[in-house]
Every structure is written in structure tokens, then in C-alpha cells.
């Protein structure tokens, strides 16, 4: 890879800026955000911000520079391409747009393992965005060792700048452009802070496999013997809730690497969804929202500046960004040993999948590549019945390489580690959404605990005729009927029809991988086609 002078780039930006504040700590950034009328304080002292027109990511406005490094390696079916010459113009225009502004510079780390670490410098005219990324990445000197050979990354954050599609080779006035060769990111035309975080993850996901590290969009925690457990799951599946366990120290909430030595957190904070957040169901996250310096995105405040987490008038994608060390139980150094358990979470709104199933390594790769959950009626405009959602590797928008690259790495990791793999359904039983009911959290936690402590390894299993995975016949403390979803439906024939429908959706989705991925471990195709 071409060595690029990041220091020269940062100096150029600083020379054109009105002023640059270096590595301000949280209280200073809070004061600057309030002074600039960028934010307001909640009754508890958290920082409340609004991101304007963009309350989530803009995936169609994300581009990777197509050059000698990326041309043959990036999965362009899943990524927009930008010509190098367009990126150069965009970068120069973005730097000029920062001219005369007061900038906030944060020099942070990504990667708790010093052997796989990135030195990330973010330059932004927004104090609250600087606070956000300071909360979410690793602050040097805190918790982890700093490598002297960290890979440099520079993120030029210009939320007020509007891109020109004709001039910059993009789609709209909003652009997130990543130069993988030089590790430069330009973010313009959006104030949604998640774009900064996800850009770092995208860079890591591109580079890590070449170092033998499997990058993962998952949470992770530790057992009593130091063994790690991984939790993959899309939004609404319970990933954050289930991995936050006071008896299992949290390695990290969202982004990890699996190296030859074990698991490490990419980040130093959490970016938790707060919609319908309550103290009883998620006490740790709720407490974090009441902390000074936490950033609350698009959360509505009442007249007394108290957050109303049930108010989704701005967006359902309300978020809290806070450092991981505010949680009561975290793993030392944000690292863990080789995983013993891999859990794939899904919220099956069709009411078909069992609450727990054991996967063979081949089935684990199949479900990893599928990345299935389901949207339910009322969660998004226009959704009136359950809709299947598939996101390869449980993080398709952030995985630049072909999914089968990551799938092959997972297969190797499972083989070498001997880790068990489980599919846990936190969705519906007794019928689909609107007919059945959501699987109760107490049963889910019992099944998860049994999977993690090895109790399920010795119980009697049945093999599901359609999906092929192994399902426990009985688990202490769990209704046995729940373990066989067909028995929970009033109309078994309706269950059969819905199950075949879902199996067909799995099959249709998997076709996009072509011959590069093995479909055999999925649903029994002959039955699914009937």
C-alpha cells in the first residue's frame, strides 16, 4: 500500500482553518457545543443534539475510490465507486470549505489490540461531533496499549459542505467517500454522526482480512474462564440487550476483530438505540443516558429537558453515544480469548423459527452470509405485514469485500477454535406478527445461558425437517411446546405454508452469492420449492 503523509494533510487543513483545538476533553467539548448553540443539556447533563434532515445513514451516498488496490477486491455490487480524480477534487473542496472555521481535532485509536490498531484523526467544525467520536473510539491512554505503528487514518468531516454530483462524481449533495489506499475519508452534507463511526468500521473491514483478522459487526462478552461469546444480529434482534449481562463482562457493543489470539473491540464506546428505552429492561444503557457527556441524537426532550424515549416524532433511530467504561461490567483491555460460542440473533416475525437451534459450522456460515431478520408492521412507513430482511455478514453496508471472503474466514475460525454456533430467535411464536406473540425475554435468556454454559451440548435434539438445524427437545424452565414452533400454531397447515415461504425467501436471497457460496447447508431446497 502506498505510504501517505497524513501529517502533511492535517497541517494543510490546520493552516487554512481559523483555529484548531486539539483533543479537547468531554467537559470542554460540551461547553463549546453549548456556546455554539449546537446542542442543549438534558436535565441530567447529557448533550442533546438534532441531526437535521438526516437521522440515519445515507447508504446510496457512500463511495469507495476505485483504484489499483480496490478495483479487483471490493464487491462493487454493494458499493458505489468514485474515480480517484473526483476524490481529489472533493478532498480539496472539503478542505477549502473548512477554511476560516474553528476546528476540533481528535486523535483517537481504533482497535484494542495494538497489533491491529488504527490512529484515527478526525477534523470537524462541530464540537458535538468531536465529542461523539471521542466517546465512541478509544481515547489514548485509557484501557488499552497504544501501538507505535498504528495505521494512520484521517477523516475530514464537513457537514455544512454540499457536494456537487457533476464535479465530485457523487449522487447528491451528500457524500461519504473512502480512499482505502491512503485511508482518507471525506464526509459532507450530513450531520448524522453515525457516518463517522461507520467509516472507521468500513476501513477496518477492508484491511483486516489481509492481516488474518475477521472483522465482525457484533457484540462480544466474556465468560468466567475468559472465553468470549459473539452476538451477531440486526437492529431489533436484542443484540445489545442480551450481550449486556452483569455476569459477563462486555468486550464491546458493536465492532470487533477475531485474530489468531482472540477477540478485540474496535471501539471505546457504545452507540445504543434508545427507542422505548426503559430502566427496567435495559438498566445499564438507561443509566448511561443520564450521564454528563453522553450524546443523545434526535431524542425529544419534554418541557423539563427530560428525554422522552417513547417519542419517535423525529425518528425511530434515536441514539445514545457514551464511553464503554461507564458500564458496570466491562472486559479488561476490551479484549477476550478465543470465542467458545457464536450466537446469531434473529427476530423472526413470520413465527416460523424455533427460539434456539444448534448450527453445524457449515450452517453457521450459511446463516452468517444470510444475515436474516424481519421487519414488522408499523416499524417503517409502508410495512403492513412481516418483511424479510437479509444483510450479509449482519453488516452488509460496511463490508466492502465480497461476503464470501468473510464467510470463508468465519469457517476457518470455527474450525480452528471448535466454537459452537447457535441461532436464537427473539421474534414471534404461535403465528406471525399480529397473530402470535413475541417470545418472552425470560425464555430467551434461559436458552442463551444454557447455550453459553454448555448445558445444551448434552440435551436431546431433533433435526428440523425443513431447515436442517438441530433443536432441543426439552430445556429446563422453558415450555417444551415453544421449542417446536409448529405446536404453538392453532393451524399446523398454516405454519407449514409460512415455513415453506420463509425457506423460499432464504433460497432466493442466497442466489446473489452465486457459485461462490454453498447453499446446501440452508433450507432443504426440494421442500422449499414445493
For each of the domains in the chain, give its residue range(s) and CATH number, in order of start: 6-223+268-332 (3.40.449.10), 338-529 (3.90.228.20)
- Among residues 217, 340, 358, 446, the one annotated as catalytic is 217
Of 281-285, 314-318, 418-422, 478-482, the least confident: 281-285
- Among residues 10, 32, 57, 413, the one annotated as catalytic is 57
pLDDT over threshold 80, residue 380: no
pLDDT over threshold 90, residue 105: yes
For the beta carbon of residue 442, count every other beta carbon within 10 angstroms.
Answer: 10
Strand 255-259 vs strand 262-265: parallel, antiparallel, or unpaired?
Answer: antiparallel
Distance, CA of 452 to chain centre: 22
* Residue 376: predicted pLDDT: 64
What's the whole-number average pLDDT of the chain? 94
> Does the annotation count 21 as an active-site position?
no
Residue 236 Rama label (left phi>0; alpha psi -120 to 50; beta): left
- Among residues 235, 329, 379, 389, the one annotated as catalytic is 235
Of 15-29, 124-138, 274-288, the least confident: 274-288
pLDDT over threshold 70, residue 4: yes
Separation CA 316–CA 431 (nearest Å)? 26
* Residue 384: predicted pLDDT: 53
Separation CA 108–CA 154 (nearest Å)? 10
Separation CA 80–CA 172 (nearest Å)? 13
Interior/surface letters 208-220, b for 16+ CB within 10 angstroms, e for the rest: bbeeebbbbbbbb
The model carries a pTM of 0.94
Separation CA 420–CA 417 (nearest Å)? 9
Dihedral in degrees, nearest 10, Cα atoms 329, 333, 334, 339 = -100
Element (H, E) at 156: strand 151-158
* Residue 225: predicted pLDDT: 85
pLDDT, mean of residues 186-191: 98
Element (H, E) at 90: helix 84-97
Separation CA 492–CA 482 (nearest Å)? 14
Residues 50 and 151: beta-carbon distance below 8 Å: no
224 vs 249 pLDDT, higher one: 249
- DSSP label at 339? E
pLDDT, mean of residues 234-247: 87
pLDDT over threshold 80, residue 526: no
> Does the annotation count 171 as an active-site position?
no
pLDDT, mean of residues 495-505: 96
pLDDT, mean of residues 444-452: 96
Q: What is the CA radius of gyration of the chain?
A: 23
- pLDDT confidence tier of residue 482, bands split at 50, 70 and 90: very high
What's the number of CA atoms in the CB half-sphere (13 Å) around residue 505?
Answer: 18
> Does the annotation count 62 as an active-site position?
no
> Does the annotation count 207 as an active-site position?
no
If we measure between CA atoms, which residue out of 270, 432, 399, 418 comes closest to residue 342? 418
* Residue 529: predicted pLDDT: 42
Separation CA 153–CA 31 (nearest Å)? 27
Separation CA 243–CA 295 (nearest Å)? 22
> Does the annotation count 198 as an active-site position?
yes
- 5 by Cβ neighbours in 10 Å (0-12 / 13-18 / 19+) ranks as exposed
Looking only at Cα atoms, what is the longest distance across the chain? 71
Neighbouring residues of 3: CB distance < 8 A, sequence distance ≥ 6: none
Phi then psi dihedrals of residue 103, to 5 deg: -110, 150
> Does the annotation count 72 as an active-site position?
no
If we measure between CA atoms, which residue out of 343, 197, 371 comes closest to residue 270? 197
Place of cell 469457517: 411
- Among residues 32, 129, 198, 402, the one annotated as catalytic is 198
- Among residues 240, 294, 426, 488, the one annotated as catalytic is 240
* Residue 377: predicted pLDDT: 47
Sheet of 80-82: strand order equals 19-22, 102-110, 118-124, 151-158, 184-188, 175-179, 62-65, 80-82
> Does the annotation count 304 as an active-site position?
no
Alpha helices, H only, 339-434: 361-370, 403-417
Separation CA 451–CA 184 (nearest Å)? 42
- Among residues 66, 319, 358, 402, the one annotated as catalytic is 319
Percent of the chain having pLDDT more than 70? Answer: 97
Separation CA 447–CA 425 (nearest Å)? 10
Dihedral in degrees, nearest 10, Cα atoms 97, 101, 102, 106 = 0
* Residue 527: predicted pLDDT: 46
Give 490-498 contacts, CB < 8 A, sequence gap 24+.
490/430, 490/431, 494/431, 495/351, 495/352, 498/350, 498/351, 498/352, 498/432
For the beta carbon of residue 193, count every other beta carbon within 10 angstroms.
Answer: 28
For the beta carbon of residue 114, count every other beta carbon within 10 angstroms.
Answer: 15
- pLDDT confidence tier of residue 472, bands split at 50, 70 and 90: very high
Residues 343 and 359: beta-carbon distance below 8 Å: no
- Among residues 254, 289, 318, 358, the one annotated as catalytic is 254
Interior/surface letters 40-79, b for 16+ CB within 10 angstroms, e for the rest: eebeeebbbbbbeebbbbbeebbbbbbbebbeeebeeebb
- Among residues 10, 32, 116, 239, the one annotated as catalytic is 239
Amino acid at each position: 500500500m502506498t505510504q501517505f503523509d497524513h501529517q502533511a494533510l492535517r497541517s494543510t487543513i490546520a493552516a487554512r482553518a481559523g483555529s484548531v483545538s486539539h483533543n479537547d476533553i468531554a467537559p470542554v467539548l460540551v461547553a463549546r457545543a453549548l456556546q455554539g448553540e449546537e446542542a442543549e443539556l438534558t436535565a441530567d447533563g447529557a448533550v442533546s443534539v438534532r441531526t437535521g434532515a438526516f437521522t440515519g445513514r445515507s447508504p446510496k451516498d457512500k463511495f469507495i475510490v476505485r483504484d489499483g488496490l480496490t478495483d479487483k477486491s471490493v464487491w462493487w455490487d454493494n458499493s458505489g465507486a468514485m474515480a480517484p480524480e473526483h476524490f481529489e477534487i472533493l478532498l480539496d473542496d472539503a478542505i477549502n470549505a473548512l477554511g476560516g472555521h474553528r476546528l476540533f481535532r481528535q486523535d483517537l485509536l481504533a482497535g484494542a489490540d495494538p497489533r491491529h490498531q488504527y490512529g484515527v484523526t478526525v477534523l470537524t467544525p462541530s464540537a458535538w461531533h468531536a465529542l461523539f467520536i471521542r466517546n465512541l473510539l478509544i481515547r489514548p491512554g485509557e484501557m488499552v496499549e497504544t501501538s507505535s505503528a498504528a495505521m494512520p487514518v484521517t477523516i475530514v468531516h464537513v457537514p455544512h459542505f454540499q457536494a456537487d454530483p457533476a464535479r465530485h462524481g457523487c449522487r447528491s449533495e451528500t457524500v461519504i467517500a473512502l480512499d482505502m489506499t491512503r485511508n482518507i475519508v471525506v464526509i459532507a452534507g450530513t450531520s448524522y454522526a453515525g457516518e463517522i463511526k461507520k467509516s472507521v468500521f468500513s476501513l477496518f473491514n477492508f484491511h483486516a482480512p489481509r492481516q488474518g483478522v475477521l472483522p465482525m459487526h457484533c457484540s462480544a462478552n466474556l465468560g468466567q474462564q475468559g472465553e468470549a461469546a459473539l452476538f451477531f444480529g440486526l437492529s431489533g434482534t436484542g443484540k445489545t440487550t442480551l450481550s449486556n449481562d452483569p455476569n459477563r463482562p462486555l468486550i464491546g457493543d458493536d465492532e470487533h476483530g477475531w485474530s489468531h489470539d482472540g477477540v478485540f473491540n474496535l471501539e471505546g464506546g457504545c452507540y445504543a438505540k434508545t427507542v422505548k428505552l426503559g430502566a427496567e429492561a435495559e438498566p445499564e444503557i438507561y443509566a448511561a443516558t443520564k450521564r454528563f457527556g453522553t450524546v443523545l441524537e434526535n431524542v425529544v426532550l419534554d418541557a423539563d429537558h427530560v428525554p422522552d424515549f417513547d417519542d419517535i416524532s423525529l425518528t425511530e433511530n434515536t441514539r445514545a453515544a457514551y464511553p464503554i467504561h461507564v458500564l458496570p461490567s466491562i472486559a479488561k483491555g476490551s479484549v477476550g480469548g478465543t470465542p467458545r460460542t457464536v450466537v446469531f440473533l434473529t427476530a423472526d416475525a413470520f413465527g416460523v423459527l424455533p427460539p434456539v437451534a444448534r448450527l453445524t459450522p457449515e450452517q453457521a456460515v450459511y446463516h452468517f452470509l444470510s444475515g436474516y431478520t424481519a421487519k414488522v408492521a408499523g416499524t417503517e412507513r409502508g410495512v403492513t405485514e412481516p418483511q424479510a430482511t437479509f444483510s450479509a455478514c449482519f453488516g452488509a453496508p460496511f463490508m466492502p469485500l465480497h461476503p464470501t471472503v468473510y464467510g470463508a474466514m468465519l469457517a476457518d475460525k470455527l474450525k480452528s477454535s471448535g466454537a459452537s454456533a447457535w441461532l436464537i430467535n427473539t421474534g414471534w411464536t404461535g403465528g406471525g406478527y399480529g397473530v402470535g406473540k413475541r417470545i418472552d425475554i425470560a425464555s430467551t435468556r434461559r436458552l442463551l445461558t444454557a447455550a453459553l454454559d454448555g448445558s445444551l451440548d448434552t440435551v436431546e435434539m431433533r433435526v428440523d425437517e425443513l431447515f436442517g438445524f438441530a433443536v432441543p427437545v426439552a430445556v429446563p424452565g422453558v415450555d417444551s411446546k415453544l421449542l417446536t414452533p409448529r405446536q404453538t400454531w392453532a393451524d399446523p397447515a398454516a405454519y407449514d405454508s409460512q415455513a415453506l415461504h420463509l425457506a423460499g425467501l432464504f433460497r432466493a436471497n442466497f442466489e446473489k452469492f452465486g457459485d461462490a457460496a454453498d447453499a446446501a447447508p440452508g433450507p432443504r431446497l426440494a421442500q422449499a420449492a414445493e
